[in-house]
Copies of this chain bind each other. A is one copy, B any other.
């Protein structure tokens, strides 16, 4: 079996990434991937269309590699990058199950990349693969973490800190960090990956505010 050196191990960062909705995950991935070192290989599986005829994608984006289904998951990443290349993966394994391409197709491709082997694939002009018309910022909750904090698809640079965030009929002020608000109080802040995140000091924003994955947000000010 191929041995992957420790530094090349691909980390399962969001095992609870939004299921069924590659668009939410696309904004999450675009915010988190740039923290990783060059040559990192990302194996990304949010794949509600497995078994249909969606393509298999391999990307190189600003020096990092991404392997997964071509269903929008890499769209935000490719649009925001300085330099992106896109390949359709032509290689197919001897046995390809109908429902688990993560195991049968994408993971072996990622493992071979880690060994320095490029799979059989065909490069495509980026503009033929990137879906046009996606918003620069996605004004929705794209992830709720296990503390109940709700990340949005909006980068904090898009809002002044004076802005009041509206979510589920409630209006939420900015704070720089958790300790900047009394326990139990809600706020929004720029999280460590640059996203607008809704939180409650020493509490759960999801329960306190009734926010859930996909909820729309707005802001004023």
Interface residues as binary, A1-33 with B (CB distance below 8 Å gives 1, 0 otherwise): 111111101000001100110000000000000
Interface residues as binary, A82-107 with B (CB distance below 8 Å gives 1, 0 otherwise): 00000000000000011110011000
Query: Residues of A at under 8 Å CB distance from B?
Result: 1-7, 9, 15-16, 19-20, 35, 37, 48-52, 97-100, 103-104, 146-147, 176-180, 189-192, 201-202
Copies of this chain = 3
Query: Chain A at the B interface: mostly helix, strand, loop or mixed?
Result: loop
Task: Give every chain B residue within 8 A of A15 (Cβ-Cβ).
Answer: 146
Tell me if B5 and A3 are in contact (CB < 8 A): yes
Task: Give every chain B residue within 8 A of A180 (Cβ-Cβ).
Answer: 51
Task: Give every chain B residue within 8 A of A202 (Cβ-Cβ).
Answer: 20, 48
Task: Give every chain B residue within 8 A of A6 (Cβ-Cβ).
Answer: 3-6, 9
User: Which among B103, B104, B191 is the interface contact of A99 at CB below 8 angstroms?
Assistant: B191
